[in-house]
Amino acid sequence: MSLITIIGRGHSATRAMSNTLAASGVYMGEPLNKSWDLIPALDMYDACRIFSKYVDWTPGASPAADSFDGHSFNWSWQRAYDSEIPEAFTRRIKSFLHTVLESKAEHKGWKIPETTLCFPWIYRLFPDAKYIFWIRNPRDCVIGGHVTDDLCKFGIPYDNIFSDRGRRAVSWLYQYKLVQSAPRPKNWIEVRMEDFVLKQEETLSRLEEFLGFPLARIPVKPEAVGRYIEDEKDDTTDPNYFPVFEEAMREYGYEVPATYKTALLNISSPVNYDTAKIPEYTLPELLEMNDGTAVKSPGQWPARRKEILDVLSTQEYGKLPEGKADVTAELIEGGSAFNDKAVREQVKLTFSFNPGDGVKSHSINLLIYRPAAAVGKVPAFLGLNFHGNHTVAADECILINDYCKALRVNRLATPENKGRGTYEGSWCPELLIDNGFALVTANYEEISPDYHCCFHKGVHTLFQNDDWTQLQPDDWATIGAWAWGLSRIMDYLMTADWIATDKVSVIGHSRLGKTALWAAANDTRFAIAYSIQSGCGGASLAKHFYGENINAITRNFRHWFCQNFNQYANNEQAMPFDQHFLLASIAPRPLYVSSATKDHWADQKGEFLALRAADKVYNLLGKKGLDTDDMPTDEHTVGAYNGYHIKEGPHSVTLVDWENYIAFARRHFGL
């Protein structure tokens, strides 16, 4: 009795081999689809996702040969090789293969391309099986689509690629490198699809010798070979060759092109920068319950606010996890800064939670500057930084932790201290100290990495038991994780004896502006929320359809939002909510939104209009909001409880921004 399987990337024509085996009397399980894949495949998919938990990815560390389009790819499967195979993986594989494993047929097997994604554990489970490694010219592979095109669906991290064929190339590279990394099973044969088609007799003879029984001859289609030749001439398609293919193409005898097309087509929906093309739209009503009841009094607002948070949770950002994580703190370093005007503290925060199979923990590193001469408790700004704590100030004592050094966005975080203080102008810590405020910050990617399929890393793992395989459509994504992390930092600050816990503002720029808003919406301990050029998915109205749109943001950064948000790509007018819901949910606490004149991507007008739309809730609650329909033309703040300014310049944070933020906080804190 022999067990046979076929591995190889999807859209490699592996069906030809599966069809041949079935026609030769090999039992291939049941049921089978038209590609001769064993189905249903959900257990196999989940097994792949379990395997992916043991895959490590180091962004930015690949050799040039494994890079393209400005991206790098460097995976390691060492943990998978060193670890025991989890019972959850074995259980799912046996469930998927139950018809094959239970069969008494002399020869039996299965084919599904996803087997390749967990091949190192498959051959450990079935060491005596016969493995047919099916190879096809990658230029032909990327022409057609397959479910494995986007590795993120299987929990495998990789740098963001904006084109479909680019993602297919990454998937091809990943599977090639994975197979190359694995020890060869004792029963192993490699077969090129092109040889199977163009040299059928010769190839089948090799296979018969390998398998030990005769094989049927099925019809083959020579036109399936070399489809890339005509595709290369087609100026309406994306490239079919990527430099990462070269090593494998030479290894398997494929011709490496001297020249090839490289231009990527515009694969996103059009971005509108013409105000005349902004569609007519009607914003969903803030002061109307889901059942149509009008909200006319402050007493009705809490119930309406809950409805608003529910729709934002299930349709945009994802539901935050239930259960309270424990937060412990360890002072790692302390000292003085800014000519002794500030006390510096560096604190390691550890979050712990038991999802049902043991306590899991995750740590981040806080940097705190607080006024040294303060009498009494001090107010604070809390915000996440992009590039590492050491970039916030030119302070030689700021630690560069090992995690930060490895992050894609933190290539400046080197042992030579390059990048130290690079973004001091974006944080203005000494200005804050001079005005009596503390600054509390941490690197956002320490909470959750900012790349596709980051959900096996960071704080998400606290809530995943061993059987967890993937997010549900309304589960929290990375914006939710970063917001959750801000609340856990706030948990720690509530225990500090130097801080005025009722005067903590949460602030963020760009994607972290979206994060600050969502944190403030869910955590009323934040006294003021500041959104800096947060744009689409932040302070800007989606229905205004100017600058970045939902199709662009969910295609390029789909890990930021829950999966349900994808349904509104190119479908903004169908949304039962918009970003004025998010802003209004913060009422009656003060809220500040700022834009930049050259940051059209973030839709400055859409941000202003969303803030203005939130006025009706502030007014209901007895607070004066923005109270103007005219966008300001200078860099000064307008509004009362809703503050707004637009500064001259691009997408950035500068001194004039901080001067306005500090003045707004001083006014509302009575300082």
Catalytic residues: 510, 651
CA atoms within 13 A on the CB side of 66: 18
Q: Strands (DSSP E) along 8-106, which ranges?
A: 56-57, 67-68, 71-72, 75-76
CB 117 within 8 A of CB 175: yes
Sheet containing 642-647: give its strands across.
326-337, 342-353, 360-371, 438-443, 378-385, 499-509, 528-532, 591-596, 642-647
Contacts made by residues 294-299, CB under 8 angstroms, sequence distance 24+? 295/620, 296/620, 297/620, 298/620, 298/621, 298/622
CB 389 within 8 A of CB 422: no
DSSP-H helix ranges across 452-603: 478-493, 511-522, 550-556, 579-584
Give the containing element (helix H, strand E) for 380.
strand 378-385
Burial 560-569 (b: 16+ CB within 10 A, else e): bbbbbbeebb
**Beta partners for 7?**
133
**Secondary structure (H, E, C), 462-505:** HHCCCCCCCCCCCECCHHHHHHHHHHHHHHHHCCCCCEEEEEEE
* 3-state SS class at 425: helix
Q: Helix (H, G, I), strand (E, B), or coil: what is residue 275?
A: helix
Write phi, then psi, for 496 (nearest 5 degrees).
-80, 140
Q: What is the distance, to the nearest Å, from the Cα of residue 360 to the centroid of all Cα atoms in its chain?
A: 22
Question: How far is residue 669 CA from its own chain's centroid?
Answer: 36
Question: What sign has the CA pseudo-torsion 255, 256, 262, 264?
Answer: positive
Give the pair of three-digit tokens for residue 637.
Answer: 């703040």
- Cis omega before residue 31 (within 30°)? yes
**What CA–CA distance (Å, rounded) separates 662 from 671?**
10
Q: List the structure tokens of 309.
A: 């948070």
Greatest extent of the chain over all pairs of C-alpha atoms, in Å: 89
For residue 355, the Cα-to-chain-centroid distance in whole angstroms is: 22
